[in-house]
Structure 1
Amino acid sequence: MTSAARPSQHAPELRAAARHLGRRRFLTVTGAAAALAFAVNLPTAGTAAAAEFDARRITDDPFTLGVASGDPLPGSVLLWTRLAPQPYQPDGGLPARRVTVHWELAHDANFRRIVRRGTAPAHPELSHTVHVEVPHLPADRVFFYRFRAGAWLSPTGRTRTAPPPGARPTALTLGAVSCQAYADGYYTAYRHLAEDDVDVVFHLGDYLYEYAVNATGNNRNYTDRTLPAHYNRETVTLEDYRLRYALFKSDPDLRAAHAAHPFVVTWDDHETENNYADDTPEDGGSSEEFLLRRASAYRAYWEHQPLRRPQLPTGSDMRLYRRLHWGRLAQFDVLDTRQYRSDQAYGDGWQYPGPESEDPARTLTGATQERWLIDGWRASRALWNVVPQQVTFSRRYNTTATPSKVSMDSWDGYPASRERVLAGAETAGVENLVVLTGDVHVHYAFDIKRDFGDPGSPTVGTEIVTTSITSGRDGADRPSNWATYLAANPHMRFYNGRRGYVTVALGREAARADFKTVPYVTKPGAPVTTAASFVTEAGAPGLVPA
């Protein structure tokens, strides 16, 4: 979106906030928090604690956005919900007062064998969201959970703990999803994923889109409802982002997927703004002003996702990269390739590589996260080292000519950063590397080459790229550039342009990726099919058709 097309109704307030804060002060914790409070008029600390709203006075179902769980640990689960009787209203239909929410965790869906129960406050400062971390649970178990507020009972969710650290599980099946533009169509793929037999779902970014949604939901073409006018603008303020999450999470298929499986989430760009890089907005402009927006986006993201307290943002900063384990079968190093990156070289589109993009100092992850990733590989005892992240890792030429353009927003725009990561994996002795990717609204399967410039270079891992849930609308099995891409990139083993998701089954001997697709999303009810399946053997990187 060009700057000329951007809504400007919030610009005066943000500019005024930015003028009160110099860049140096803003980047301190105190300065960032003050800027956020100034920009979005947050209540002062303690306001919610001073008054409680009796949940028995809630007259409409407050669990309109469903339930969710996330980041399963060997002895702990994280449970989430939000109270919003009127989800399309800025306050969710509740007063600015604390509400006590009851929760239960059980071995069975009928809640006859309760494992743990308790209460949690839903604070208006956090948009009446609830994040419950339940510790001291047995490892490698399935549980059911629910919430109650007054007379209202939430839907039942299903979650699980991870296996203990030294365990050697024989199997794990994960789902990988990304890119769910509400205005592009229906979340039918999520309904199928909810019914699929997976242990955990990895959301690889673009859970939210910042663009305007009109009264009929754009490509959803609603005839049975009218969306409020405040959705028909780009998100900028905290209220905007909260309202947009409420809209997206009101979708029944998304709610079904969250209730069925624990999610591990990471963001890409659209949760804040298209193609931003660190403190640089898409179309340039003031970093101070953009960081005010980023602070609002990050806060709303944490509020509306099943994330633990270590991920709670401070102003415009949020530590989202983190490590999870599935016994000794798999280590998951969840990356954030947006918050710390160098600005894209030559713009953020497809360009020819040059001295700027190939500068060794450029980074996609930031130096701290890069060291954390490689150090984690050195310490890993897992059979499979899986990296859930956002943008295409493998080299991707868009023509058979030499030279060819590459995407400056992906790892191709940061080749020195990719080389350091691949060298780190080699030094650490990582044998079974699997990179999970979203962003591009198509299915890809890649053999990761140690040197993409050398056709004879060894294969050192596998990249599985999941298509979008809806972004790009219906798509096609063979996009117009299908033949060119396969010819230009011999390490690309599969390419499909429909919507859907991927499941990956990790075993002791091999990993299998199944690429699921639906034929349309611009109307509801599409069936799901498996477009292709590939296997990579443990200790022998490289994809072969299953």
Structure 2
Amino acid sequence: MTESLHSADATASPRRTPARRDVLKAAAVATGAAALPVAIATRAAADPSPAPAFLHGVASGDPLPDGVLLWTRVTPTPEAHPGSGAGPDLAVTWQVAADRNFASVVASGTVTASAASDHTVKADVRGLAADTAYWYRFTAGGASSTTGRTRTAPAADAALDRLRLGVASCANWEAGYFSAYRHLAARGDLDVLLFLGDYIYEYKSGEFCARGTVVRPHQPLNETVTLADYRTRHGACKTDADLQALQAQVPVIAIWDDHEFADNASSTGAVNHQPDTEGDWGARVAAAKQAYFEWMPVRPSIAGTTYRRLRYGKLADLHLLDERSFRTAQATTGSGDVDSPDRTITGRAQLDWLKAGLSASDTTWRLIGNEVMISPVAFLSLPAFLLRPIAKLLGLPEEGLAVNTDQWDGYTHDRRELLDHLASNGIGNTVFLTGDIHSAWACDVPAEAATYPASGSVATEFVVTSVTSDNVDDFLKVPPQTLSLAGVAAIEAANRHVKWVDLDSHGYGVLDVTPDRVQMDYYILADRTRADSTSSWTRSYRTRSGSQQVERVWSPVT
């Protein structure tokens, strides 16, 4: 079924405490854009009356059975660079065709690019055929964009044999090149790119580079605080050739995490936000959200957030969460406050929406686009009947000493409510897809971690590592898969539901969904600091229908 632009259920169908970098350091111990204004100026010098230009690529997103969202950004004049607030209004025409030569144009229209939207434009195209490939392009003032390819979702009742998603998160421009996007684009077999947050990073140049190497400087060089700052950072990111190639090839489904705002963001502030020097948190969030929705091919949903729902026939629905806009500020590590019913990671309305959607789902699989890890990662955990009374007496967490209270471990009441809902209603085949922590994981999601495996698993979780952002080996400044292995051993020994962890690699995942199983293939980059980095398959895990458990697979899906 179709949905309005502001609906939380955009139904589409088939085919800091502590800050994250401190958590990674603790785990380790326990174990182009800069050239863009010059290029524009050079072009202006060569042509005193330059034509408009499409310098930031094209993209499509949030596919529905009858439509898709199209996006681009036009530079009408040389001074109208991202974040400038300069440049005239310009009419931009879009076309959708059934063939790449545009001999059969099936839809077209005109939108206006203006400084009010940073000269970004979107077209929410409807009236298309389900499960169909289309080509699209934009023109303005005699200039044409590159041609993009997209695909509508299948009909809601379509019986699908397969759905294949590229999965990525945590792409810090300064830390390396986006080679992962090039390798995803080269596959040619993806239905969609699922991006799980941290599309940009807010830090000032050089602040989040553990090995001390800035591969390519941020624009702007300062930390992003204002609307102009966030627009400039998004614009710089969109100049990456590998990102442009991928987003022109497959539709994007994206959610944000904290670095689209500031590190360890919550509803009331962030670890990386100082009100005395950086102003009001609400104003900063509003600026960040405006820039995000201008620059990303995403439909805003309830209250201008990213939580919404898409559908892929009878095979899978995809519940996309926003775990930043409504959450309570992070608790102190080791505090029993993490168990308080007054604390929330989703907010009441979103949790009720998620539970209702999971109950109503009639698909084989329920996929949850999840910003931060839901599987428990705790130490000193005792059986529940012993731990909880002792923990209450001592003011300690009832589910063990959590390492990272920024994830669901810091909001155990919400987690228990959600997992109890799955268990008590017999809702199976639920798979959490997660980014955020710059490492790769494959986990059962236990009903009771302290008594797992006897207490069973109610869901599974696949966590993908970072595209470029610093990992444990980067903080240690050692070769990967050396000192961090002690941390991996400690995590797996204390958390038996965790089946695999890689704390060091950079890369991406490919999720293959069939009626019988969901499989995540993990790929790693040889060197994030090289634009021509190769990638290679490293591991695969799957969950079989009805099992609620992950198991290792010895080869990727071909």
TM-score with structure 2 setting the length: 0.80
Deviation, 1:151, is 2.2
Q: Go from structure 1 to structure 2 and tell me whether the alpha carbon gap of 1:398 and 1:107 turns closer, same or farther (over 3 Å shift).
A: farther
Residue in 2 that maps onto 1:377: 358
- Stretch moving more, 275-284 or 438-447: 275-284
Q: Go from structure 1 to structure 2 and tell me whether the alpha carbon gap of 1:336 and 1:171 turns closer, same or farther (over 3 Å shift).
A: same
Partner Cα distance (1:407, 1:338) in 2: 15
Residue in 2 that maps onto 1:387: 368
Deviation, 1:91, is 5.1
Deviation, 1:519, is 1.8
- Among 329, 334, 338, the alignment partner of 2:320 is 334
Deviation, 1:491, is 1.2
Of all paired residues, the percent bearing the same amino acid is 36
Partner Cα distance (2:412, 2:87) in 1: 49
| Residue-by-residue CA offset, 1:492-523 (whole Å, 9 max, x unaligned) | 11212211111111101111110111121112
Please say if 1:202 is aligned against 2:194.
yes
Residue in 1 that maps onto 2:125: 134
- Among 132, 136, 140, the alignment partner of 1:149 is 140
Please say if 1:261 is aligned against 2:270.
no
Q: Go from structure 1 to structure 2 and tell me whether the alpha carbon gap of 1:427 and 1:90 turns closer, same or farther (over 3 Å shift).
A: same
Q: Go from structure 1 to structure 2 and tell me whether the alpha carbon gap of 1:59 and 1:214 turns closer, same or farther (over 3 Å shift).
A: farther
Q: What SS class does the counterpart of residue 453 from structure 1 fall into?
A: helix
Across the two proteins, how many residue pairs are aligned to each other? 477
8 Å Cα contact 1:85-1:92 kept in structure 2: no
Partner Cα distance (1:240, 1:92) in 2: 7
8 Å Cα contact 2:52-2:141 kept in structure 1: no
Please say if 1:439 is aligned against 2:439.
no
Please say if 1:67 is aligned against 2:58.
yes
Q: What SS class does the counterpart of residue 460 from structure 1 fall into?
A: strand
Consecutive unaligned residues in structure 1, runs of 5 or more: 3-55, 312-316
Partner Cα distance (1:152, 1:445) in 2: 47
Partner Cα distance (1:57, 1:74) in 2: 45
Deviation, 1:272, is 0.7
8 Å Cα contact 1:202-1:265 kept in structure 2: yes
Residue in 1 that maps onto 2:406: 409
Q: What SS class does the counterpart of residue 344 from structure 1 fall into?
A: coil
Please say if 1:397 is aligned against 2:378.
yes
What one-letter code is carried by the residue in structure 1 that aligns with 2:522? F
- Stretch moving more, 90-99 or 294-303: 90-99
Q: Map 1:98-247 to 2 at 5 A.
A: 98-196=89-187, 197-213=189-205, 219=213, 221=215, 231-247=220-236
Q: Go from structure 1 to structure 2 and tell me whether the alpha carbon gap of 1:84 and 1:295 turns closer, same or farther (over 3 Å shift).
A: same
Partner Cα distance (1:322, 1:448) in 2: 23
Partner Cα distance (2:493, 2:280) in 1: 44
Q: What SS class does the counterpart of residue 78 from structure 1 fall into?
A: strand
- Stretch moving more, 321-330 or 277-286: 277-286
Partner Cα distance (1:441, 1:147) in 2: 36
8 Å Cα contact 2:85-2:118 kept in structure 1: no
Please say if 1:523 is aligned against 2:530.
yes
Q: Go from structure 1 to structure 2 and tell me whether the alpha carbon gap of 1:94 and 1:375 turns closer, same or farther (over 3 Å shift).
A: closer
| Residue-by-residue CA offset, 1:144-187 (whole Å, 9 max, x unaligned) | 11111122211111111111111111110111110011010110
| Residue-by-residue CA offset, 1:2-28 (whole Å, 9 max, x unaligned) | 9xxxxxxxxxxxxxxxxxxxxxxxxxx
Q: What SS class does the counterpart of residue 310 from structure 2 fall into?
A: strand
Deviation, 1:544, is 1.3
Residue in 2 that maps onto 1:426: 423
| Residue-by-residue CA offset, 1:97-120 (whole Å, 9 max, x unaligned) | 211111111122222222212211
8 Å Cα contact 2:402-2:409 kept in structure 1: no
Q: Go from structure 1 to structure 2 and tell me whether the alpha carbon gap of 1:106 and 1:424 turns closer, same or farther (over 3 Å shift).
A: same
- Stretch moving more, 469-478 or 117-126: 469-478
Deviation, 1:406, is 2.3
What one-letter code is carried by the residue in structure 2 that aligns with 1:199? D
| Residue-by-residue CA offset, 1:128-150 (whole Å, 9 max, x unaligned) | 11110110111011111111112
What one-letter code is carried by the residue in structure 1 that aligns with 2:469? S
- Among 453, 463, 466, the alignment partner of 1:465 is 463
Consecutive unaligned residues in structure 2, runs of 5 or more: 1-15, 18-46, 388-399, 475-479, 554-558
Q: Map 1:283-362 to 2 at 5 A.
A: 285=275, 289-308=280-299, 310=301, 318-346=304-332, 351-352=333-334, 354-362=335-343
Please say if 1:512 is aligned against 2:512.
no
Partner Cα distance (2:56, 2:49) in 1: 16
Q: Map 1:35-74 to 2 at 5 A.
A: 59=50, 62-74=53-65
What one-letter code is carried by the residue in structure 2 that aligns with 1:65? H
Q: What SS class does the counterpart of residue 457 from structure 1 fall into?
A: coil
- Stretch moving more, 89-98 or 230-239: 89-98
Q: What SS class does the counterpart of residue 138 from structure 1 fall into?
A: coil
What one-letter code is carried by the residue in structure 1 that aligns with 2:244? R
What one-letter code is carried by the residue in structure 2 that aligns with 1:443? A
8 Å Cα contact 1:84-1:94 kept in structure 2: no
8 Å Cα contact 2:52-2:140 kept in structure 1: no
Q: Cα RMSD between the aligned structures?
A: 2.7
Q: Go from structure 1 to structure 2 and tell me whether the alpha carbon gap of 1:389 and 1:153 turns closer, same or farther (over 3 Å shift).
A: same
Q: What SS class does the counterpart of residue 231 from structure 1 fall into?
A: coil
- Among 344, 348, 351, the alignment partner of 1:363 is 344
